[in-house]
Structure 1
Amino acid sequence: MNNLGFDFEYIPITPIDQNQSQNTQYLRVLARYFYDDNFTIFDLVEEYHLELKRSEIEKFQNVLDQMKSIFPAKEGEIFDDLKFSEIIQSFSNYLEVIFSESDISQLKETLSNQRFSVAFIPSNNKYKIMTIFAAKGLEFDQVIGFGKDYNLTNRDTNNNHYVLITRAKEKVILIDNNYYKSQVDSVIAQNHREPNNFYRYYGNS
Structure 2
Amino acid sequence: MFDVFFDYRGLFIEGLLVTLQLNAIVVVLSVAGGALIGVARHYGGKIVRVVLGIPVDILRSIPLLVVLIWVFFASPMVFGTRYIDPFVAAVIGLSLTQGAYISEIVRGGLASVRSTQTRAGLALGMTRTQVVTRVVAPQALIRMLPPIGSQVAIGIKDSTLASVIAVPELFRQSQIVIGDSMQPFVVLTTLMVFYFVLVMIVVRLIDMLYTRVAARGAS
Q: TM-score range by the shorter chain?
A: under 0.3
Q: TM-score, length-normalised on structure 2?
A: 0.22
Under a length normalisation based on structure 1, what TM-score does the superposition of the two structures give?
0.23
Q: Which has the higher strand share?
A: 1
Quick one: higher RCO (CA 8 Å, sep 6+), 1 or 2? 2
Normalized per residue, which structure has more helix? Answer: 2
